[in-house]
């Protein structure tokens, strides 16, 4: 039975963007099942509020296209390899979510019918309406675009009300809080300020796409237990990127 939406929750449909590195725990590579199970429980806690959830997961724990290109590989080929890495992560997260009892669909921008669905916008929206979590894999299906841009694109197509960017810190800071104890966290920051100050929330294409469609980006700590649900209920610390 699907959960009823809590009237106090400000969002009915959101995009959760996490890096591939978030799935590897304290390992240096690959997937760490206990970490994936913890993230799945975070997603379930928000899903139980009646919120419809999309996800995009990076591939950097397996292969990062830019690094491959930097080592002499053709950029387009390296990016396609990175897209395939995101499909592996999406399938792993699907298994973790379904272990928590949440029906999940992996939807790939590169067709691979034996393991996941092809991207069809109206079908994906119908999955969300049926309270299934949709994990969008393989980026945009095009090289030279990051999974940040893919997350922003899909969030707009799905009619999401915000992008939640799960990171290792509880918001956007004026400098690296791990290196500088006097780093200041922004409560809110504008899209243009993020671009001008190179604050590293997402890449420039993703920020510009969010700005053009007035889609807020909420940066919070995925390492904080209950952080995802806490942001939705207004109890956790985070930074809101908006116009």
pLDDT at position 220 over 70 = yes
Q: Over range 7-36, report the average pLDDT.
A: 92
Residue 219: closest CA among 168, 184, 152: 168
Q: Over range 31-50, report the average pLDDT.
A: 97
Q: What is the DSSP secondary structure assignment for residue 23, as one 8-state letter?
A: G
Q: Report the percent of the chain where pLDDT is more than 90.
A: 84
Is there a contact between 37 and 99 (Cβ–Cβ < 8 Å)? yes
Q: How far apart are CA 194 and CA 196, in angstroms?
A: 6
Half-sphere exposure of 64 toward its Cβ, with a 13 Å CA cutoff? Answer: 11
pLDDT at position 234 over 90 = no
Which stretch of DSSP H or E encloses residue 61?
none
pLDDT for position 2 = 44
pLDDT for position 184 = 93
pLDDT for position 1 = 38
Surface-to-core class of residue 234, CB atoms within 10 Å of its CB (0-12 exposed, 13-18 middle, 19+ buried): exposed
Q: Over range 189-208, report the average pLDDT.
A: 95
Q: How far is CA 228 from CA 74, 87, 163, 172, in A?
A: 37, 23, 12, 16
Task: Name, in order, each residue with C-beta under 8 angstroms of 74's C-beta and a sequence gap of 6 or more.
Answer: none
Task: Name, in order, each residue with C-beta under 8 angstroms of 107's C-beta and a sequence gap of 6 or more.
Answer: 116, 117, 118, 119, 124, 127, 134, 135, 136, 137
Q: How far apart are CA 38 and CA 40, in angstroms?
A: 5
What tokens were used for 168? 């290792």
Q: How far apart are CA 215 and CA 161, in angstroms?
A: 7
Q: How far apart are CA 63 and CA 78, in angstroms?
A: 8
Q: Over range 131-158, report the average pLDDT.
A: 97
Half-sphere exposure of 111 toward its Cβ, with a 13 Å CA cutoff? Answer: 2
pLDDT-based confidence at residue 6 (cuts at 50, 70, 90):
low
pLDDT-based confidence at residue 54 (cuts at 50, 70, 90):
very high
Is there a contact between 152 and 212 (Cβ–Cβ < 8 Å)? no
Q: Over range 125-135, report the average pLDDT.
A: 98
Which stretch of DSSP H or E encloses residue 208?
helix 204-212
What tokens were used for 117? 């669905």
Task: Name, in order, each residue with C-beta under 8 angstroms of 237's C-beta and a sequence gap of 6 or more.
Answer: 170, 171, 185, 220, 221
pLDDT at position 9 over 50 = yes
């Amino acid at each position: 039975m699907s959960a009823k939406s809590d009237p106090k929750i400000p969002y009915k449909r959101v995009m959760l963007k996490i890096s591939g590195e978030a799935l590897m725990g304290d390992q240096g590579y690959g997937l760490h099942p206990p970490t994936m199970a913890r993230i799945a429980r975070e997603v379930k806690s928000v899903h139980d509020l009646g919120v419809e959830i999309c996800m995009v997961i990076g591939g950097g724990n397996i292969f990062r296209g830019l690094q491959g290109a930097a080592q002499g590989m053709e950029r387009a080929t390296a990016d396609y390899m990175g897209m395939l890495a995101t499909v592996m992560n999406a399938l792993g997260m699907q298994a973790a979510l379904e272990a928590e009892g949440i029906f999940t669909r992996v939807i790939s921008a590169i067709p691979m019918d034996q393991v996941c669905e092809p991207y069809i916008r109206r079908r994906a929206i119908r999955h969300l309406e049926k309270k299934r979590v949709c994990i969008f894999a393989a980026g945009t299906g095009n090289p030279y675009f990051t999974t940040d841009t893919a997350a922003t694109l899909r969030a707009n197509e799905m009619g999401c009300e915000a992008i939640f960017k799960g990171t290792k810190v509880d918001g956007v800071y004026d400098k690296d809080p791990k290196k500088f104890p006097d780093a200041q966290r922004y409560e809110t920051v504008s899209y243009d300020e993020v671009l001008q100050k190179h604050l590293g929330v997402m890449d420039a294409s993703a920020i510009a796409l969010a700005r053009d469609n007035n889609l807020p980006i909420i940066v919070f700590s995925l390492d904080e237990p209950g952080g995802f649900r806490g942001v939705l209920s207004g109890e956790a610390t985070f930074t809101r990127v908006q116009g």
